[in-house]
Amino acid sequence: MGKLKTVVWDVDDVLNDLMGSWFLRWCQEHPGCGVAYEDLKRNPPHEILGITKQGYLQSLDAFRRSALYQDLAPVMEVKEWFLRKGDQFRHMALTAVPLRAASFSAQWVLHHFGAWIRTFHFVPSRRKDETIPLYEADKAEALRRFKPVDYFVDDNADHVVAAQEVGIQAVFFPRPWNPSGMTIGETLARLHPG
């Protein structure tokens, strides 16, 4: 077997549908929500929802630390892709979560994708009440350290552009807040083992 290419995967909103699941729950708790998931054209969506950024982050972090997060199903098309083609690549997870949620994210990844994803790395999303050492300021710094990386899949436009700027073939995972313009199937088809 030849050298396998490496794919680095974002976790939330790529391997799972965190925002969609959190948003559904949030709207149930706020009956006058009046916003559809497709209207979330920015991430974080706090301004669209008419809440503070701090309130949004607290709600999202609470969701991540709950059983609701562990019960999230993988994105069906992604899981099917791993079942068909996962063994043709090496895989890493690279996520931006606060320290308090990293273990929950890692547990979720290993539970659903541990057969393929053997490396889990996180760049801490800063929270006011957490003081931790800064090793990488963002995912692009982490990706430079991980080289060689052949593909990077993320839903965040800033992360995708930064990865492209360091020479990595970065792919937008389609979500309302990014300019992907592709389906999930078309996105995954851009990953080739050869």
- 183, with CB counted inside 10 A (0-12, 13-18, 19+), is exposed
CA distances from 53 to 44, 73, 94, 120, 128 (A): 8, 26, 23, 27, 12
Q: Could you read off the pLDDT of 84-106 as tens digits, one per residue? A: 999 999 999 999 999 999 999 99
Beta 151-154 vs 117-122: how paired, if at all?
unpaired
Interatomic CA distance for residues 167 and 88, integer angstroms = 22
Interatomic CA distance for residues 6 and 134, integer angstroms = 25
Please tell me the predicted confidence (pLDDT) of residue 194.
Answer: 63
Average pLDDT on 73-92 reads 98
Interatomic CA distance for residues 80 and 61, integer angstroms = 28
Please tell me the predicted confidence (pLDDT) of residue 137.
Answer: 87
Q: Could you read off the pLDDT of 153-182 as tens digits, one per residue? A: 999 999 999 999 989 999 999 999 999 999
Interatomic CA distance for residues 22 and 93, integer angstroms = 21
Class for the domain spanning 5-17+72-189: alpha beta
Lowest mean pLDDT segment, chosen from 30-39, 80-89, 92-101, 129-138 = 129-138
Q: Is the pLDDT of residue 128 over 80?
A: yes
Please tell me the predicted confidence (pLDDT) of residue 42.
Answer: 96
Q: Is the pLDDT of residue 69 over 60?
A: yes
pTM score: 0.95
User: What long-range pairs does 147-150 form, CB within 8 A, spacing at least 24?
Assistant: 148/6, 149/6, 149/8, 149/92, 150/5, 150/6, 150/7, 150/89
Please tell me the predicted confidence (pLDDT) of residue 94.
Answer: 98
